[in-house]
Structure 1
């Protein structure tokens, strides 16, 4: 979750387009959440976009919060977990999880389903192996578990919930998820809390699925924590390289953390990508093309070979940056479809 308050907020300035480059394979699709137009904007061939870009489709959200967008290329389903809209926590607010089926074929169409949910944090992650969606709450460290996620409807209820136990001296009160990222291959969950840590939960998927199958809600302590971060928020992961990309919004940089599956304790910022305008916000990693997409309103930054990228974004070889021709992008959520 970027910015202040409970919803994901971010603003920016007009970006300078990077030099035109070639070399990435297309087609591919990027889904970008925008609170100004209240849409998810869809960019085809996103790996090659540079400078001015047109959204070929839009999906109306009727929402001004800045949540994640989650996409499954297997089921062609897009989930939009609405975020609590107010800067301070008050009475419960409806924050439905909206989803589009056959998302790659939709344009200017309302969600096919809206799953009832209250006080959502706008933070969710998806287990593509078990078809499970995890949705976080804004008023505590509880995560709701939804089985058969691609079939969710307005009548769907969570199968169970998990309370995540995170220790962070850099945050007042009880730490809660600001951003979650599940690696489906290992079942490992990474959780940033916008304080000073990213918590790591080994075997999370198996533990959560067992709880969901039995209908038993549980508490789960972190297996270990990555320490010494400054307002960690957006997350992306490269399974092949075991690298975790962590957005540090207060420092306007991304930490590139190697050996992320076993890393524990303080990290020394030995490799960082720096000098973002207002972000980094949400991030999405395209493993097919080895590209990192970074939401830095009002632009989307594209970083090739991010596992070796370092220093100021503007100086990264073959980097590119695109912005929408019709709206100044303002939001957080971003998801890549490397299939359609």
Structure 2
């Protein structure tokens, strides 16, 4: 399902793990008790960055017992000093009701302050509030404006959300090719929702030429991140592709096995999908094949095996493998 999601990512702040800063060193080593010990007096002395980091430790229960109230307290201390990361964090606390009563109006104000400072996550969060009408009247044009700002800053979720705005024509003319552009940007930035949505566009041929194999590729990428919708989509589409295979419904061959897996290159075995250049390769562990596979730059179309090790040429186009001692139904 094509959907808009609200960002709720707390910001610890930039850490220079290569520096001699005691907090960064402790955090990088996952010595959170030491990180807490170092940061607490700095926060109490009014250092905004330290207050934000201390709030994050309380929020996650790192080096100290988890305490949402204390987290929100320290985020507010830092936000009151104008620290954009802390303003984003405090906005999320108000948005979700973490350590304080839910208050979308205050979340909106804080997101606006942080977004005005160029904070990408706050820009994405602000777009979400405008899109869903939380603390403000629904305004799709404002939502698109802030999602674009965040997407241009490298936020994958915002790119996905902007794609959905174009997909539905909300505040902008409906534009499926533009939706694909933004879904792709989000997908390439690693956002699993965008990867799943891009897969849907390829599967259905919406705004892009239909390509079930590319759709499956993007579903698989999102599924690898645990996206439940993508897992279901990948399983469903994989079954659909298998049912559409030229081999579907043909008589089974007793010796048909798994697709070609290994080839010999310069005396070493490599996976077929690692081949990069045309040439002659020795196939090893050759098993019965009755399907079309692919790997970068080439197509593999092997339809047999007699169990022997053979040498075949690999052209820029394809490998074609045939055997004469199989029935036509088994080729």
Give the alignment's TM-score, normalised by structure 2.
Answer: 0.25
Tell me which protein shows more helix as a share of its residues.
Answer: 2
Tell me which protein shows more strand as a share of its residues.
Answer: 1
Task: Indicate the structure (1 or 2) with the bigger Cα radius of gyration.
Answer: 2
Give the alignment's TM-score, normalised by structure 1.
Answer: 0.25
